[in-house]
A and B are shown apart, each in its own frame.
Chain A
Amino acid sequence: MVSITVNGTSHDVDVPDEMPLLWVVRDELGMTGTKFGCGVAQCGACTMHVDGVATRTCVLPVSQAVGKQIRTIESLSTDNSHPVQKAWIAEGVPQCGYCQSGQIMAAAALLQKTKKPTDDQITQAMTNICRCGTYDRIRSAIHRAAGET
């Protein structure tokens, strides 16, 4: 039995210690906003905040998440009022949308740390893959969100 705190709620789950946090959250807790893309921390679709740090959870054993504050896309806002979500809508970022939970969580973590990121800082922080190629608009949306926070 492992005890983890996701979006402020504590959960006891009966899973092996090495099971990645992503699959615990998706299959055991039933929160499917966070996506699976590669399983090897390459694409970032599985990004959650672990103690405020954008983390690729497809390779994070659940045992390492014990005692930490885990935040998923579901916690960002209930009404799309988070500045990053608003900026994503205003810039018309999503296409298929599958990677965007991870992109948004990565962007939110970046803006927590760096209030007004430069283009270079955005490029360095935003290494998540988008096969629809929405990169231009992700960049614009981060600048827009930075302007509003």
Chain B
Amino acid sequence: MDAPALSRGTFIRLTGALGAGLGLALSFPGCAPSSQSGGKEFSPNAWVRIAPDDTVTVVLNKSEMGQGVATGLPTILADELDASMNHVRTEFAPADPKYGDPGLGGDMITGGSTSIPDSWLPLRHAGATARAMLVAAAAKQWGVDPATCTTREGVVYHQPSNRSASYGSLAATAATLPVPANVPLKTPDKFTLIGKQSRRLDLTGKVNGTTIYGIDVKVPGMVYAAIARSPVFGGRVKSFDATKAKAVPGVTDVVQVSNGVAVVAKNTWAAFQGKNALQIVWDEGPNAKVSTASLFADAERLAKTHQGERIAASRGNPDSISGTVVQAVYRGPFLAHATMEPMNATADVRAGSCEVWAPNQVQLRARAAAAIGSGLPPESCTIHTTYLGGGFGRRLEADYVQEAAEVSKAIKSPVKVMWTREDDIQHDFYRPMSLNVVRGVLSGGDVTALTHQVVQKSWYRDWWPQLVKNGIDPGAMEEVTDAPYAIPNFRATYIDHDHGITAGSWRAPNANWNCFVTESFVDELAHTAGKDPLAFRLALLKHNPRAANLLTLAAQKAGWGRKQQAGVAQGLAVTFWNGSYGAIVADVSMQDKMLKVHRVVAAVDCGTAVNPDIVVQQAQSATNFGLSAALTGKITIKNGRVEQNNFYDYTVLHMADAPSIEVHVVPSTAAPTGIGEVCTPPIAPAVGNAIFVLTGKRVRQLPFNDALA
């Protein structure tokens, strides 16, 4: 299907089109009773089915990767349906455009913290419509006015006659009724689950090992495969010798695929051993000499020569303002995602069909990848989405799906392609490195001008080209063009630093880096002006009370301005991410160059908190994810290869370094915005700003542990 033209923004909802999109989302494709259940199941739309045994099955067009959609989306629908959460089951939607998100151009994408906001109205309408039909069914059976019926926890009541009927018992009748239009929605004061339901629906399987992730899929007759991919970005197989690989016990086959050489075996271990035994000669291609140093030298040349520079935002005349000039250059590293579950997919390609089981965030793109891999049309490919052992944007790519389909086609057998951790670290779509040049002017203690030049590879160029306008990648300019501050003379420019290192979405792209620049540099300006960083920011946020109030809340809860313990300093930062605000205050100490983050206070404003405890979970999770990268995260390149291998040299946050994180959620009845990412961007600058207070050293390069060594 053609995606509607999108005007701006990373994962921007088509705010104006959301209403229009409703018609699309609520076209009730499944309005006929399900034939499989002999007409007894009630399926008024694509999102919900009610079985005679009262089970309410909510169909999720979003992937569960820890962020809680498998609880959040059913909560929204069940509230309007007046269902009991005890009856709710979930299943993941197939790859089908009817499950596309109108807010994301009709694509099936779990990303950008859009699941709850984009599902908010469609799922409420779906639930309310189903409820109205169940009420109509009961009223018809009882011969009463539907308006005299009430509903609660999966039961229709007619109190005047003291009658009641469970939803399941009404399913068959409801399925015969016409689907009503324009069923009114609840007012927020009538919500019974939204804002209250905190317990996740997916806990049971996640504490006893029964939850099925991609790695756990088992298909009859399935074999296992591991793929050796070019160590150099963009390299290709020149020749290979499989003799030693085939000698490994358990190895059954070795086949070349477009991405490398696949070793097929009776179990995962044998496949890994066989892969290690392969002898491959690579054509290393044009990136064989690329290194982190050469890439930054290129970026600096681009920045100085302004080659290909585009103006992304401009107001006033920042070049003509006089005053105290502050200039700085910030350098951000590549980052890997390192989801706990390494990439994998299972495929079964047969004559005329391709079935895939994969932990993925992009069902339609996974289907397209399966089609390429199998050589079949997309309509012949089926995608089963499993639970995801983490996503963080990595699974917005479907490279592993194509691989599995290719191998299955080649060996004519169902196969699971399993990545090692080394494969995962070295063949990622990385958060791109970035060079940011900032220049501010202070006059009379106020910021009167700011310019911000971003040199960063565009990953949207390949991933979502419709969003790149005039060569400007909106993702690369997050937290630059839309930083929350009002500065009268401002210019943001972008240079697409095209290079051969694969780049992609990484939790809060790419505010995850740009916010470090913006919020560290605002801090630099505050200190240069001799002002308190909180007061300085609040003066720049007079036009934005939501951001100002949130920052004030975080500061108050953290005891900003109070005398700290000896050796401890506080830093703060605020961000705006896709409709939500997040503010963080970090308590930091440095001893013998050892950085320690003791405590974090996070405040978030995400509109209605559908599941309050999941909001807290996500604020904590996003903070730790950002902190992990800020402390030690970096991928470096040498001779066109990633230098890191596994968790011993791409180190991530452990419990010993994880701070206590106190979360404050602003009470709100506004429509919900996202929560999965907003706390990732502000943690690094909050820590960096505290480091400046402690040491007088302004860190302009991450990770901190390198910069402070």
Q: Chain A: residues with CB nearer than 8 A to chain B?
A: 15-16, 19-20, 23, 26-28, 30-40, 42-43, 45, 72-74, 76-78, 80, 85, 88-89, 92-101, 104, 122-123, 126-127, 129-139
Contacts and interface: CB of A to CB of B under 8 A. Distances in A.
Q: How large is the interface on B (under 10, 10 to 19, 20 to 34, 35 or more residues)?
A: 35 or more
Given A92-B198, A95-B68, A132 B390 contact: yes
Contact of B208 (A43, A77, A93, A130): A77
B359 to A, nearest CB: 9
A27 B388 contact: no
Rank and list the top 8 A-B pairs by shortest CB-CB distance, nearest first.
A33-B209, A133-B624, A98-B389, A96-B66, A97-B206, A95-B66, A73-B209, A135-B658
Given A20-B269, A26-B268, A38-B421, A94 B652 contact: no
Nearest to B422: A39
B268 A101 contact: no
A31 B250 CA distance: 20
B342 A74 contact: no
Nearest to A19: B269
B205 interface: yes
Contact of A94 (B206, B339, B620): B206
Contacts of A35: 213, 215, 340-341, 389
A95 B617 contact: yes
B218 interface: yes
Contact of B209 (A32, A132, A139): A32
27 contacts: A15-B267, A19-B267, A31-B209, A32-B209, A33-B209, A35-B213, A39-B420, A40-B648, A76-B208, A92-B199, A94-B202, A96-B341, A96-B387, A96-B388, A96-B390, A97-B66, A97-B206, A97-B211, A98-B339, A99-B389, A122-B655, A123-B656, A132-B66, A132-B624, A133-B621, A133-B625, A136-B660
B23 interface: no
Contact of B342 (A19, A33, A37, A130): A37
Contacts of B205: 97
Nearest to B339: A131
Contacts of A74: 208-209
Nearest to B420: A39
Nearest to A36: B215
A35 B613 CA distance: 26
Given A23-B269, A42-B647, A136-B620, A36 B203 contact: no
Contacts of A37: 340-342, 421
B620 A40 contact: no
Contacts of B396: none
B187 interface: no
Contacts of B654: 127, 129, 135
B224 interface: yes
B680 to A, nearest CB: 10
Contact of A43 (B65, B209, B647): B647
Contacts of A92: 198-200, 203, 613, 617
Interface string B602-629: 0000000000010001001101110110
A139 to B, nearest CB: 7
Given A92-B200, A95-B66, A139-B655, A131 B207 contact: no
A130 B628 CA distance: 11
Contact of A33 (B203, B208, B646): B208
A76 B205 CA distance: 13
Contacts of B653: 133, 135
Contact of B421 (A39, A89, A96): A39
A98 B213 contact: yes
Contacts of B270: 19
B338 interface: yes
B249 interface: yes
A92 B617 CA distance: 8
A40 B625 CA distance: 22
Contacts of A126: 655
Contacts of B267: 15, 19, 23, 27-28
A138 B661 CA distance: 13
Given A16-B249, A92-B198, A133-B658, A98 B218 contact: no
Interface centre among A35, A72, A104 (most CB of B within 10 A): A35
B456 to A, nearest CB: 24
Contacts of A73: 208-209
Contacts of A94: 66, 200, 202-203, 206-207
A48 to B, nearest CB: 11
Contacts of A34: 209
A135 B655 contact: yes
Nearest to B600: A136
Interface in B123-159: none
A101 B205 CA distance: 10
Interface in B47-71: 64-68
Contacts of B392: 131
Interface string B168-207: 0000000000000000000000000000001110111111
A95 B213 CA distance: 13
B241 interface: no
B216 interface: yes
A23 B268 contact: yes
B2 to A, nearest CB: 33
A89 B269 contact: no
A25 B188 CA distance: 50
Contact of A96 (B340, B658, B660): B340
B470 interface: no
A117 B448 CA distance: 55
A100 B207 contact: yes
B210 interface: yes
B338 A131 contact: yes
Contact of A133 (B215, B620, B656): B620
Interface in B215-272: 215-216, 218, 224, 249-250, 267-270, 272
Contacts of A88: 203, 207
B495 to A, nearest CB: 32
Given A37-B421, A43-B340, A85 B208 contact: yes
A46 B208 CA distance: 14
Contacts of B341: 35, 37, 96, 98
A36 B122 CA distance: 38
Nearest to B662: A136
Contacts of A39: 272, 420-421, 646
B399 to A, nearest CB: 19
Interface centre among A23, A27, A31, A72 (most CB of B within 10 A): A27
B648 A27 contact: no
Given A43-B647, A88-B207, A131 B625 contact: yes
Contacts of B208: 33, 73-74, 76-78, 80, 85
A40 B646 CA distance: 8
